[in-house]
Structure 1
Amino acid sequence: MQFFIDTANLNEIREAYDLGVLDGVTTNPSLMAKEGIKGHANVLAHYKAICDIVDDNVSAEVIATDYEGMIKEGKELAKIDDKIVVKIPMIKDGVKAIKYFSNEGIRTNCTLIFSAGQALLAAKAGASYVSPFIGRLDDISHDGLSLIEQIVQIYDNYGFDTEVLAASVRHSMHLIQCAEIGADVVTCPFKVITGLLNHPLTDKGLEQFLADHKKANS
């Protein structure tokens, strides 16, 4: 499973990269705004700064919702760095744009996936990734993890190359469950990844080891 961090914070990205487990970054306009990144030129420069930290896979989202606008913005984003994956919304013109970018050899991440039908359309159009939002589905009393499982099965049935990128992951158990059902990628806040480090028996065991070492060497 690949680990992506869902943020535009450069310090968090560096920390995640230094941990040695980071495979990519996903961003969106809300995350950019949270970091105070304003203005088109500054946003593009920030994407480049992210690309300079990580090895690959930086999802950069278009703002346009019409076909021509998405093509124009997507081309501009793709020129920033070879690591850029153009993030496209799951709408009719978005599917058309994904097909265009696929034909041009430009990677895409189809975002705002909430059904298996949407994921099937995105894969047919040639999306590199689809991003089902499991946490948001859970919020409205739908089973987000079941959707991941369903998409994985459909893609396996037909040998689609599109990878399942589980998004809106809220906690470490979400991450583990996504791994169990075969999601290719998970994107989440850094604290969800570091949450995997924690177990009370690890803390207790380490405390005992250190205490025994101190006794043996005092």
Structure 2
Amino acid sequence: MTVYVDSADRRDIHAAAQLGFVKGVTTNPSLMRTVTDDPLRHLKELLTGEELTEFYYQPCGAYADLREEAEAAWSLAPGRVIVKSPATPGGVALASRLAARGVPVALTAAQTPNAMIVAEATGCVAVIPYVDRAWRDPRTENELVAALARVRRGTTRIVAASVKNAGQFTRAFSDGADAVTAPLAVLRQVLDHPSALEAERDFAAEYRAERAGEGA
């Protein structure tokens, strides 16, 4: 099970790394637009840190050609960057060309089981379904992650995105996701349970009381 932070903000990425259970970063054009007008330069700056190892980058259209942007992003760190491409006819055509050149690609917005079939047919390393969007969209299966997992025949990973709360985080893994990506606020909720916090406080209080008794 792998966890990513969904953000392009350096502060969020640093804070997520400090949680101890986050492996990488997912970005998209909307997230990039909030922090930069030069996504490739920003990605290069993010990659200079060694805190998190994997980065999912979706071409933003800020330059002349999406394929060139995708290859430029991947070339910044071939062992760490996975390119995202939409599960649309144009996006799949781009994914196929990139995969043929050895670029690892994930089909994003994988909102039907057919996206998994196509991803495996084109050699994509992952599919990225939007979990919360699936629940809100009557045209999409509520059990989207499970539906993708049922038709999988190879090693294509399911990276669940659009996760809005700790319940959706848990459910995505239960339904068969290999990884979940979520905003920093959601990742902080994952272990924010009153019983665990109370137990931590109780153990600390007992230790202090014992130490005080020894010194009496």
TM-score normalized with structure 2 length: 0.87
Contact kept in structure 2, 1:134 and 1:143, CA below 8 Å: no
- Matched residue pairs, number? 208
Partner of 1:210: 204
Q: 1:171 aligns with which of 165, 172, 177?
A: 165
Per-residue CA deviations over 1:142-188 (Å, capped at 9, x if unaligned) read 67651101111211xx2x22110101011111111111122111111
2:116·2:151 contact (CA, 8 Å) conserved in 1?
A: no
Moved more, 205-214 or 125-134: 205-214
Structure 2 counterpart of 1:192, one-letter code: V
Number of the residue aligned with 1:183 = 177
Deviation at 1:105, TM superposition (A): 1.1
Offset from partner CA, 1:75-108 (integer Å, 9 cap, x none) = 2222222222111111112212212221211111
- Equivalent of 1:73, from 69, 73, 90? 69
Contact 2:26 2:56 in 1 (8 A): yes
Segments of 4+ moved more than 6 angstroms: none
Give the stretch that moved more between structures: 84-93 or 3-12: 84-93
1:135 to 132, 136, 141: 132
- Contact persistence 1:63–1:70 (CA under 8 A): yes
Offset at residue 206 of structure 1 (A): 2.6
Counterpart of 1:19 in structure 2 is 19
Is residue 192 from structure 1 mapped to residue 178 from structure 2 by the alignment? no
Structure 1 position 117, deviation (Å): 1.2
Query: Secondary structure at the residue paired with 1:113?
Result: coil
**Alpha-carbon contact 1:145-1:177 (below 8 Å) kept:** no
Distance 1:126 1:196, change over 3 A: same
Paired residue secondary structure (1:110) = strand
Identical-pair percentage: 24
Post-superposition shift, 1:192?
A: 1.6
| Aligned-pair CA distance for 1:18 | 2.7
For 1:98-177, list aligned pairs within 5 A: 98-141=95-138, 146-155=143-152, 158=153, 160-177=154-171
Q: CA shift at 1:32, angstroms?
A: 1.4
- Length-normalised TM-score, structure 1: 0.86
Quick one: structure 1 residues 105 and 55, their matched pair in 2 at CA, closer, same or farther if it must change by over 3 Å? farther
Contact 1:131 1:166 in 2 (8 A): yes
Higher mean C-alpha displacement, 106-115 vs 189-198: 189-198
CA contact (8 A) 1:86 1:107 kept: yes
RMSD: 2.0
Deviations 1:104-135 (A, max 9, x none): 11111211111111222122111111111011
Whole-angstrom distance in 2 between the partners of 1:206 and 1:14: 25
CA distance in 2, matches of 1:107, 1:52: 20
Q: 1:204–1:30: structure 2 CA closer, same or farther, 3 Å change rule?
A: same
Judging changes above 3 Å, is the alpha-carbon distance between structure 1 residues 78 and 212 closer, same or farther for their aligned structure 2 residues?
A: closer
